[in-house]
Amino acid sequence: MTPYYELRNLLHSANTAPIGKPAPSNWERFRSAEADRLLDAFARTSESAQQHVIIDKLQEIMLRDVPVIPVIQGVWWFQWSDRVFVGWPTPENPYANPCPYCAPDLGVVIIHLHRR
| Gap between the Cα atoms of 78 and 26, Å rounded | 27
All structural domains of the chain with their residue ranges: 4-65, 85-115
Cite the beta strand spans of 1-116 per DSSP E: 85-86, 114-115
Task: Name the band, by pLDDT with cuts 50, 70 and 90, for residue 69.
Answer: confident
- The amino acid at residue 86 is V
φ, ψ (nearest 5 deg) of residue 3: -80, 5
Q: How does pLDDT run across 23-58, given as a tens digit for each residue?
A: 999 999 999 999 999 999 999 999 999 999 999 999
Helix or strand or coil: residue 31? coil
Q: Report the percent of the chain where pLDDT is more than 90.
A: 72
- Upper half-sphere CA count for residue 69 (Cβ side, 13 Å): 0
Task: Name the band, by pLDDT with cuts 50, 70 and 90, for residue 103.
Answer: confident
Assess contact for 80 and 112: CB atoms under 8 A. no
| Helix (H) or strand (E) segment spanning residue 105 | helix 105-112
Query: Between residues 73 and 84, which one has the greater pLDDT?
Result: 84
| Reduced DSSP (H G I as helix, E B as strand, rest coil) percent helix, strand, coil of the chain, to 5 | 40, 5, 55
* pLDDT (0 to 100) of residue 80: 84
